[in-house]
Chains A and B, each alone.
Chain A
Amino acid sequence: MRSWIVRVLLLGGITIVASACASSDEWSEWLKHPSHYATGDHLMFSFRNTEGSAPRVTRSDIDAARSEQWWGKVITVSPEQIIQQ
């Protein structure tokens, strides 16, 4: 019983400490991605390319990395800021 209370207190403490470090937007973004990997393609890419070996990257990997935001959001210009159709 006592160890159960200690565990709850510990978990609560970690949550409070962690929440103090992240904004609500960051929490919201984090909650949208419960997995370490953005997609299944991202998972397979990481399995295929382990640290210390030369990466094998295909054209479709590059396209998928961008469209599926494997490495997070990239701040860029929107087309409407440069060209009009």
Chain B
Amino acid sequence: MRTRSLLVGITLLGLVGGAAAAPPDEAIIPFDKYTTEKGKTLATMFGSQLRQILNRVHNCRPWLNVPKAGLGFTRAVGMPGDDRYLNIWVRVHQTTTAEFAGLSTERRASAMFSRHGVDLLRQLAADDSIFADPALHGYSVILSWLKPNGGGANPEKEETLGVFTDKATVRAFLAKRMGGKEFVERATIVAFDGSDRLGRIPLEIWEDDFARTFKLPNYEPEDKNVRC
């Protein structure tokens, strides 16, 4: 709870007055970049749903940025086979407070996942047709943010957290039939400090309704048809 209150202190960059640019098409993995038939099939079948997800994130979560090839049906490095996850990779733009900088790596990752990761999982898992496709194994969210205390003599670094979970676990967690602790136990978690792999880090998930309740002052989605 204390950490949550600390997180409330994180202030977003003032995006006031800035109209959202159109969602970048390059954020979705191009069909021809998939290396297996399973990946290509999923991308072909659910291309329009991917664009809807991207459009919603782009317009309704202006503090998030989906980088090039950040959305698609990918597999996790190091996992055997061709288990496909509906994956979204976002960069979180925020002004880092002293409180956030004072947290440990694990607590920062927990805070980020609680705030943005769960919200993104909800958006990925909302489509019933994708969920029902037997070729889909699960959902994954990758979050990157600027590591505090960078700059100056130290090069700026990003911290990155990746969480991969099978689809039944995600749906059970989002429906509150499963607690955060069990969700974490079932998830494959990877973390990076810059480009250095930290491996699995202990993650804690708590309630954070920021993404659904925060309204950026003077911000209007460019796409008026998107329901935020």
**Could you give, for residues 38-50 of chain A, a 1 whenever the CB lies within 8 Å of some chain B CB and a 0 otherwise?**
0000000000000
- Please report which residues of chain B, range 78-130, place their CB below 8 angstroms from some CB of chain A when the two chains form the complex: 87, 89, 91, 93
What residues on B are CB-neighbors of A72 within 8 Å? 155-156
- Please report which residues of chain A, range 67-85, place their CB below 8 angstroms from some CB of chain B when the two chains form the complex: 71-85
Count of residues in B whose CB is under 8 Å from the partner chain: 43
CB <8 Å contact, A58 and B17: yes
A7 an interface residue at 8 Å Cβ cutoff? no
What residues on B are CB-neighbors of A63 within 8 Å? 21, 65
Query: How far apart are the CA atoms of A66 and B157 in the complex, in Å?
Result: 13
Q: A56-B17, A58-B19, A75-B156 are in contact. Are A84 and B93 (CB under 8 A)?
A: no
A55 an interface residue at 8 Å Cβ cutoff? yes
B77 an interface residue at 8 Å Cβ cutoff? yes
What residues on B are CB-neighbors of A79 within 8 Å? 69, 89
For residue B32, which residue of chain A has the nearest CB?
A85
Query: How far apart are the CA atoms of A58 and B156 in the complex, in Å?
Result: 22
For residue B35, which residue of chain A has the nearest CB?
A85
Query: How far apart are the CA atoms of A54 and B17 in the complex, in Å?
Result: 13
